[in-house]
Structure 1
Amino acid sequence: MSLKKLEDLLQTGQKPQPYPTSLVKVKVVKVGHIANFTQSNGQEGSMLNFSVADNSGAVLATLSDVNQFDTVKEGKTLQIRNFLMKGGRLVLTEHTKIMQGPLFDVDAVHIEKATNIITPASPRKTVKETKDLPLRQMVTIQGEIVKDEAIKIVKVSQRDTNVRTITVEDEGQLIDVSLWRNLAEDPLVKIGENLEITHCITSEWQKKPTLSTTRNTVLRKILPREIIIFGTVEAISLKDNGIEISVHTNDQYKDFFVNNDIMIEKISELQLMEKSAKEEFLLQKIPFLIELRTQGSTVLNMELL
Structure 2
Amino acid sequence: MFSTVNTKMLNIAKVKELHNTHQPFHRPLKCLLARSLAPTTYEKEGKKYLVQHLVICDDTGYLKATSFEIFRTVPIIVTDVIVQTAANYLRPPTPPVTDIPTIKKSPVKTLHTVCGKVSKDETPRQVQTKGGTTQVRTIQVEDKPRNKVKLALWRNFAEESFNMGDYIKVQSVTLTEYQREKQLASTSRTKIEVTSPPEEQVAITIVAFDTTNKDYEFLAQIDGDLLDTYICKKELISDLLSEYESFNHDEDNKPLTDDEKLLDMLPAICVVKVQEKTISYVEKPLSRINNA
Q: Could you say which TM-score interval applies, normalised by the shorter chain?
A: 0.5 to 0.7
Aligned mates of 1:256, 1:58 — CA distance in 2? 53
Using structure 2 for the length normalisation, give the TM-score. 0.67
Q: CA RMSD in A?
A: 4.1
Aligned mates of 1:178, 1:218 — CA distance in 2? 13
Deviation at 1:161, TM superposition (A): 2.0
C-alpha change, 1:105 and 1:226, in structure 2 (3 Å) is farther
Q: Deviations over 1:42-98 (max 9, x none)?
A: 533232333234555422121xxxxxxxxxxxxxxxxxxxxxxxxxxxx33xxx3x5
Aligned mates of 1:101, 1:239 — CA distance in 2? 80
C-alpha change, 1:289 and 1:144, in structure 2 (3 Å) is farther
The one of 61, 76, 83 aligned to 2:65? 61
The one of 215, 226, 230 aligned to 2:200? 226
Q: How does 1:1-305 map to 2 (within 5 A)?
A: 7=12, 9-14=15-20, 16-19=24-27, 22=28, 24=30, 26-31=32-37, 34=40, 36-38=42-44, 43-54=47-58, 57-62=61-66, 91-92=67-68, 96=69, 98=70, 107-120=79-92, 125-133=98-106, 135-172=108-145, 173-187=147-161, 190-205=164-179, 207-220=180-193, 221=195, 223-236=197-210, 238=212, 242-249=215-222, 252-268=226-242, 288-291=267-270, 292-302=272-282, 304-305=286-287
**Does structure 1 retain, via aligned residues, the 8 Å contact 2:176–2:185?**
yes
Aligned mates of 1:300, 1:30 — CA distance in 2? 49
Q: Which amino acid aligns with 1:26?
A: L
Structure-2 residue corresponding to 1:72? none
Q: Which amino acid aligns with 1:34?
A: T
Aligned mates of 1:293, 1:176 — CA distance in 2? 27
Where does the alignment leave 5 or more consecutive residues of structure 1 unmatched? 63-90, 270-277
Q: Which amino acid aligns with 1:116?
A: N
Aligned mates of 1:255, 1:9 — CA distance in 2? 61
C-alpha change, 1:45 and 1:239, in structure 2 (3 Å) is farther
Q: Which amino acid aligns with 1:46?
A: L
Aligned mates of 2:8, 2:274 — CA distance in 1? 62
Secondary structure of the 1:14 match is coil
Which of the two has greater strand per residue? 1
Deviation at 1:201, TM superposition (A): 1.0
Where does the alignment leave 5 or more consecutive residues of structure 2 unmatched? 1-5, 244-256, 288-292
Q: Which amino acid aligns with 1:184?
A: A
Q: Which amino acid aligns with 1:51?
A: V
Larger radius of gyration: 2
Deviation at 1:208, TM superposition (A): 3.9
Q: Which amino acid aligns with 1:164?
A: R
Q: Deviations over 1:108-165 (max 9, x none)?
A: 2123221332245757542223334565454443322222222222222252322222
Q: Deviations over 1:227-279 (max 9, x none)?
A: 31424354546365x4444545455554433235423323449xxxxxxxx89
**Does structure 1 retain, via aligned residues, the 8 Å contact 2:35–2:90?**
no
Q: Which amino acid aligns with 1:109?
A: V
Q: Which stretch shifts more, 196-205 or 131-140?
A: 131-140
